Structure 1
Amino acid sequence: MTRRALGLADLPDDHDLVRAGVGTLNVRDTASVDGEKISLHGPARHLARVFSSATPWFDITRVGPDAVAPAYIADSPVGRVALFLRPLSEYVCLPMNEGAAIMDMVEATINDAVAEATAPSGGIVTSRRYDGAAEPAIANIKVLENGVLQLAAPPLDDSGQLTVRDLAAGEQPGAAVRALLSVPA
């Protein structure tokens, strides 16, 4: 399914969802094509409405020597979804029920990504909160080869880089990042 079919064609190229790379989506048995007309059915119609009105949304990406694995969590007045990249460039979409706390999903996704990055050779989990035209809020977790976790987040240091600190023993990476991303930019 293309950007046009998802209702994203009219979004400017710098819109959050376009910048995130959500441009095409394969949704089985949820669309019909009649010439130039594409009709969405069931879940695809709902996804198009969520994507076209999502704010805020979160980009959580694990980067390591073995893979780059992004996840996107979108919150919209019409619903919430979480997208996870799986092998062969296939996104798995999880609709979230209305009662689900979006930040609970963000925290769990960060914890899972950090756990995957921990063995065997480390990596980084980048997390961003996009909210309208505001600058994104950023908090990253670096997983060192010895298992130490470091949090990089604002404020910027004297050299213009994110401030880095080791997470304390028992401090959960998802909770640390959640606290920083819970506050709108």
Structure 2
Amino acid sequence: MQTVPKITLKQLAVFVSIYQTGSTSRASEELHLSQSAVSSALTELESRLQMPLFERVGRRLNQHPNAHPIYIQAQAILGQSLTLEHYHQYQAGQIHIGASTTIGNYVLPSLLGKLYEALPDANVDMYIANTQEVVSEVEQLNIDIALVEGVPRPVDMKVIEQREWRTDTLMIFAKRDSKWLKNVATYSKMRTVIS
């Protein structure tokens, strides 16, 4: 069974504030907590970590050598918790779109224009590469939707779903007496599938 850490976000926020402001009184003002609550949170954190973070010299707090590496980690944890807190709001407007090179360069721009008209606050992240690379990104769940040419061969059909989206007729250009035009009926039926 995994052990649940006993360090709290409040303790980390108090520590970061003290580290940045240099005093418990300024940290208590910044965090809207009593000075005793700030001092208590710092003492609890030091107890949990089993190391001092500040050296108390009279009423002053001097950073202990342990403080800086803990400060870096505490900032990262608080940043991640803030991101998690706003996860739904962020995800609601975040769209990861992948496209093969031709579609990404020639078809996607107009589609994105329509998307931004409908959802002006959308945050679109695009990934343009060859078809197999784009499909691989979908399989790894890095992309929400991909627009590619041809029929890709996904590694895991349980993870992604394929649907035909558009068809595109290929055009042949050749000189009038070209041998390539002898079977023009066959060529005119060729189509590429964009899925």
**TM-score (norm: length of structure 2):** 0.24
Structure whose CA Rg is larger: 2
Relative to its length, the structure with more strand (as a share) is: 1
Relative to its length, the structure with more helix (as a share) is: 2
